[in-house]
Amino acid sequence: MGYHEAVLLTESVEGLGIRPEGIYVDCTFGGGGHSRAILERLGPQGRLYAFDQDPAVRANLIDDPRFTWIELNFRHLSKGLRMHGVRSVDGILADFGVSSHQFDWAERGFSLRADGPLDMRMNPSAPRTAADVLAEADEAELRRIVETYAEIKPSGRLVRTLVQRRSSAPLTRTTELLELVAPLAPRGKEHQYAARVFQAFRIAVNDELGALSDLLEQTLEVLSSGGRLVCIAYHSLEDRMVKTLIREGRLGGEAERDAFGKRHMRFRSLSRKPIEPTAEEQERNPRSRSAKLRIAERIEAWI
């Protein structure tokens, strides 16, 4: 089963400003496309650490003494690096997209195009599947998942439909969920609506936004001065968090200010607007269409 083509490959790797002797992190190894491009620019003393919690990536690991795979969710960035004696790095790259390997493998339950179990776990050893969440979450939790992660409002009709269905029989297959939500979609937008519902439960199962929050906060301690943060987001929830960290220097609230009203800046944006794939890349790789790349440099300044 193949992995997806690395999205915004040239733009993201160039955004790292790689020094041949530097230490870099690929937070989302997947098929290894970004990692291989980084290694091509590293010298003999350079080092690359790649995180991925999915054991299926073993088939793609790179035989290179400069490369180390850390089998952890990227929310454990600091811990994983400390395990290898690393306290600071020169660049961090994270591509938050779900790989084609995961989408196309029906048994993983991510795809709308093939029947499979309602699983959706990025880490197959995690305890709860999407079927578990659909069966166990109360109405308030279902409403929060749908409204927050799918951004479907009002959510009452969808939540009632889910609750009524599970009272008679559990939802266990992707096709069952797809058939259930299809009649609720606005005319002509059935696919987009279903994709957002699937996205919502995938995010909930994997605590994706919680993991992203943990990762972004740890970049502040792990990135050395002048180090680069390169993030590729695929929906507004992710992109908003990345944008906020770069602009405010933290995820909650506005930037810290001193007694004179100067803002504590901890990143300098190197991309005035998010960088998007070219029309050629979008045509070649349709899954890149929603990608937004942001690049920032780690600083400490009061402005």
Complete domains list, the chain, with CATH? 9-100+208-302 (3.40.50.150), 106-206 (1.10.150.170)
Cα gap 171→133, rounded to integer Å: 10
pLDDT of residue 101: 63
pLDDT of residue 1: 41
Instruction: Find tokens 């908003």 and name the residue.
Output: 240
For the chain, residues with pLDDT lower than 50 are 1-2
Cα gap 38→24, rounded to integer Å: 8
Cα gap 22→38, rounded to integer Å: 11
Kindly report the backbone phi and psi dihedral angles of residue 266, in degrees, each rounded to the nearest multiple of 5, phi listed first.
-115, -10
Could you please report the per-residue DSSP string of 223-237?
Answer: EEEEEEEEEEESSHH
pLDDT of residue 97: 83
pLDDT of residue 50: 98
b/e map of 129-164 (b: 16 or more CB within 10 Å)? bbbebbeebeeeebbbbbbbbbebeebeebbeebee
List, in order, residues 6 or more apart from 219 with CB less than 8 Å away: 77, 92, 229, 245, 298
Q: What is the pTM of this model?
A: 0.94
Are 24 and 48 contacting, i.e. CB atoms less than 8 angstroms apart? yes
Nearest in space to 299 (alpha carbons), one of 257, 245, 238, 237: 245
The backbone region for 151, taken as left when phi is positive above 0, alpha when psi lies in -120 to 50, beta otherwise, is: left
Q: 44 preceded by cis ω (within 30°)?
A: no
Cα gap 270→54, rounded to integer Å: 31
